[in-house]
């Protein structure tokens, strides 16, 4: 077992733990903060798996921008910590069944996985420069589309934020 693999298991444990904590927190601020930890850990994992650019982006976008946005919204609307009444029993049962199904699907996938998946993977690093070149050579269209998507999202968010909520509920609206 190499150092890398020790790192991997540590990071994995951290990720699962913090994600589980995040999911179960009643207080949403705590939940968001635990999730930040989880995302930071996954950024580490990306470094470990040879994707430094992605790791940095993960820190900047996920753990940075997105989670801050969450935090912002949570703080802004100051929701009561208590959630509404829980679910009926069948809902929990359904969730259990769903999980079982999921696990089954995963196990089946593992069984059907191709050769060489059990062997340790070789380490390799995609240098940010190579990665960028590759992206703009092979995926320039996708990049453009994604940027357009982001622009659209931006405009949409602006529109949603500008519309006075009270009037939007009525028929027609101001526009």
Q: Where are the alpha helices (DSSP H) in 1-77?
A: 3-24, 28-48, 52-57, 67-77
Please tell me whether residue 140 adopts helix, strand or coil conformation.
helix
Nearest distance in Å: CB 72, another protein: 8
Q: Are 41 and 14 in contact (CB under 8 A)?
A: yes
Nearest distance in Å: CB 172, another protein: 16
**Separation CA 165–CA 175 (nearest Å):** 13
**DSSP-assigned letter for residue 60:** I
**Separation CA 10–CA 128 (nearest Å):** 25
Nearest distance in Å: CB 175, another protein: 15
The tokens describing 53, both together, are 């650019």
**Separation CA 69–CA 36 (nearest Å):** 12
Report the candidate in 66, 46, 68 with the shortest Cα–Cα distance to residue 55.
46
Nearest distance in Å: CB 174, another protein: 15
Nearest distance in Å: CB 96, another protein: 10
Nearer to another protein by Cβ, of 165 and 171: the residue is: 165
Q: How far is CA 12 from the centre of its chain?
A: 15
């Amino acid at each position: 077992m190499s150092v890398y693999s020790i790192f991997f298991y540590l990071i994995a444990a951290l990720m699962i733990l913090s994600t589980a904590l995040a999911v179960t927190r009643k207080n949403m601020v705590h939940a968001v903060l635990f999730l930040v930890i989880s995302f930071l850990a996954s950024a580490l994992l990306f470094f470990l798996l040879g994707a430094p650019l992605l790791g940095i982006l993960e820190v900047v976008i996920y753990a940075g921008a997105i989670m801050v946005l969450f935090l912002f919204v949570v703080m802004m609307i100051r929701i009561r910590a208590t959630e509404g009444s829980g679910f009926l029993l069948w809902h929990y049962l359904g969730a259990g069944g769903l999980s079982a199904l999921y696990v089954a699907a995963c196990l089946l996938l593992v069984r059907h996985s191709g050769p060489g998946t059990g062997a340790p993977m070789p380490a390799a690093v995609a240098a940010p420069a190579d990665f960028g070149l590759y992206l703009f050579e092979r995926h320039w269209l996708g990049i453009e589309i994604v940027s357009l998507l982001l622009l659209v999202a931006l405009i949409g968010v602006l529109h949603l934020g500008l519309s006075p909520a009270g009037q939007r509920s009525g028929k027609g609206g101001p526009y």
